[in-house]
Structure 1
């Protein structure tokens, strides 16, 4: 039986960015980063209702209306589910990561909000029980309630979404030396547009190649076989289409692989790209090489180097 802890008056939570798809696992694979991420502060107040009192770091791009913002809407659904709609809640959202980066920006915000409200009220639900509410937030944000960002953001580590009806999330092992190089080029690739470009029918031979790669990647993670991980991370279904939207994609991939990366691909719907490496030092080098090339092409970028974040959201002590 789950032990419920004491209720609180204020909770401040960080939730991490994520890399979805992991090249060959469209909508079913993802992992959590240590940096960047978003923060949510939730306070209990006397006046009943949920209010979104402040948003920073979004340049005015996110909706302030409670029913339209993924964080507040998810919190309302959570409160309805546990029968606490009479409570008074003031929320602040602080965006510490770029919007539209392909790094699960909406997922990080939503997970931070859900983890915060659950903690505030004594953790009546487990993390896995919070997942459906986080998926509702993704549906509000991009029109599709997939879990490949929210699952690793909420649970940490590398996650496999085995199925959606009902949602079935499997935690995968993480080889100890695995690190990610992530680069966000400053170009615009809207998630909805990127998803609309995807083919709805695929050739059987391509499907066989894809599921062989997914199986190979999972096997490589279980056996710490870095070579198998690298050669399995190939995408014949999604990447050929989405890569068109990302300037310098193939040159970035060439540079990353020549610099010793295990693999290279698109993070989520892009424009961020990522590479796996066997060490933090190698991941740092790959990030530097890619960012230098983008700068030479007149394209700004953000670069991140991270191990796999096994913790997921965490409470911050002010």
Structure 2
């Protein structure tokens, strides 16, 4: 994706000294919408502290919560590389310098958009530091490029909801076309991250290159039904539609206890249950926070009995996206 040169009038005398930004985790695919649907969570998420420095350039001085897995090299880290790209396109790479501290409050490789949250937080921070000259729509291509650096593929199903908040539909990429969808107020999810390793690239390699037309028709109907259900706040329609016949059958193989977790969720009143992004996180979709909590606790108890540690999160749909922290 090419990033066009931006022409913005930016008064360098008004640049802030420091800003702290939170960006949320996301659930990509929404079970039936592979690579085109996603929504933001209230928690977990990542924080970026960005401070203006006297020398031009972008440096990362601290990363916490990553167990030493992320590079401090500004050319290789998605946060700093995305910020560098934005400053370069604004013609400010030789005029503006910033120091970045990244605090990971969500697990890496979880299927919850860890790299997306970091990238969005960094780009939102630099835009805020500069006085917000860019709209969120103008920031999105930089977020997508950051995802390409992190994962090898520039998908927007994580970065779009992380940046805009709410539920988003990626209608197409040439040009990039993101459509906000309504988020029913009663919709809640229980997200469980089992402590098992499912690399995104490995999960993608399992996906079949060819599918049966009859399966594609079922999936198209489910996606259309889900979108209609969101607009109508029809939870029965949402439940009937959030079924994945294409991706889940293969990716579930990589997630221990997947079908047992699904059985527990559905028996306890979930509208639907499936894989978050490429996994191993799973998501139970409900219309009540208490049901989401109960399902999460029961699944975590089951995983514990199977000697699998896990994290659990309860959330409504986060409609705000990134936010500035005091």
Normalising by structure 1, we get a TM-score of 0.98
> Which residue of structure 1 lines up, in the alignment, with residue 5 of structure 2?
none
Q: Secondary structure at the match of 1:287?
A: helix
Select the residue among 64, 67, 76 that pairs with 1:56.
64
**Is residue 2:245 matched to residue 1:236?**
yes
Provide the rounded CA distance (Å) in 2 between the counterparts of 1:304 and 1:313.
Answer: 18
Equivalent runs, 1:53-132 vs 2, <5 Å? 53-86=61-94, 87-132=96-141
Provide the rounded CA distance (Å) in 1 between the counterparts of 2:54 and 2:318.
Answer: 36
Give the Å deviation of 1:115. Answer: 0.2
Moved more, 240-249 or 60-69: 60-69
Q: Secondary structure at the match of 1:18?
A: strand
**Is residue 2:146 matched to residue 1:137?**
yes
Provide the rounded CA distance (Å) in 2 between the counterparts of 1:140 and 1:169.
Answer: 21
Q: Secondary structure at the match of 1:128?
A: helix
> Which residue of structure 2 lines up, in the alignment, with residue 30 of structure 1?
38
Equivalent runs, 1:266-285 vs 2, <5 Å? 266-285=275-294
> Which residue of structure 2 lines up, in the alignment, with residue 156 of structure 1?
165
Give the Å deviation of 1:7. Answer: 2.6
Equivalent runs, 1:209-248 vs 2, <5 Å? 209-248=218-257
> Which residue of structure 2 lines up, in the alignment, with residue 174 of structure 1?
183
Provide the rounded CA distance (Å) in 2 between the counterparts of 1:200 and 1:164.
Answer: 20
Give the Å deviation of 1:211. Answer: 0.6
1:74-111 CA-to-partner distances (Å, cap 9, x unmatched) read 00011111111121111111101000000000000000
Q: Secondary structure at the match of 1:161?
A: strand
> Which residue of structure 1 lines up, in the alignment, with residue 203 of structure 2?
194
Give the Å deviation of 1:4. Answer: 7.8
Q: Secondary structure at the match of 1:144?
A: coil
CA RMSD of aligned residues (A): 1.2
Give the Å deviation of 1:40. Answer: 0.3
Query: Is the contact made by 1:4 and 1:123 (CA closer than 8 Å) also made in structure 2?
Result: no
> Which residue of structure 2 lines up, in the alignment, with residue 293 of structure 1?
302
Q: Secondary structure at the match of 2:220?
A: helix
Provide the rounded CA distance (Å) in 2 between the counterparts of 1:81 and 1:7.
Answer: 17
Provide the rounded CA distance (Å) in 2 between the counterparts of 1:47 and 1:79.
Answer: 14
1:176-221 CA-to-partner distances (Å, cap 9, x unmatched) read 1000110000000000110111111111111111111000000000
Q: Secondary structure at the match of 1:229?
A: helix
**Is residue 2:1 matched to residue 1:9?**
no
Query: Is the contact made by 1:111 and 1:150 (CA closer than 8 Å) also made in structure 2?
Result: yes
> Which residue of structure 2 lines up, in the alignment, with residue 40 of structure 1?
48
> Which residue of structure 1 lines up, in the alignment, with residue 27 of structure 2?
19
Runs ≥4 residues deviating over 2 A: 2-7
Provide the rounded CA distance (Å) in 2 between the counterparts of 1:161 and 1:262.
Answer: 23
Give the Å deviation of 1:3. Answer: 11
Q: Secondary structure at the match of 2:191?
A: strand
Q: Secondary structure at the match of 1:85?
A: coil
Give the Å deviation of 1:113. Answer: 0.1
Query: Is the contact made by 1:186 and 1:299 (CA closer than 8 Å) also made in structure 2?
Result: yes
Provide the rounded CA distance (Å) in 1 between the counterparts of 2:292 and 2:187.
Answer: 9
Give the Å deviation of 1:114. Answer: 0.2
- In the alignment of these two chains, the number of paired residues is 316
Provide the rounded CA distance (Å) in 1 between the counterparts of 2:161 and 2:140.
Answer: 10
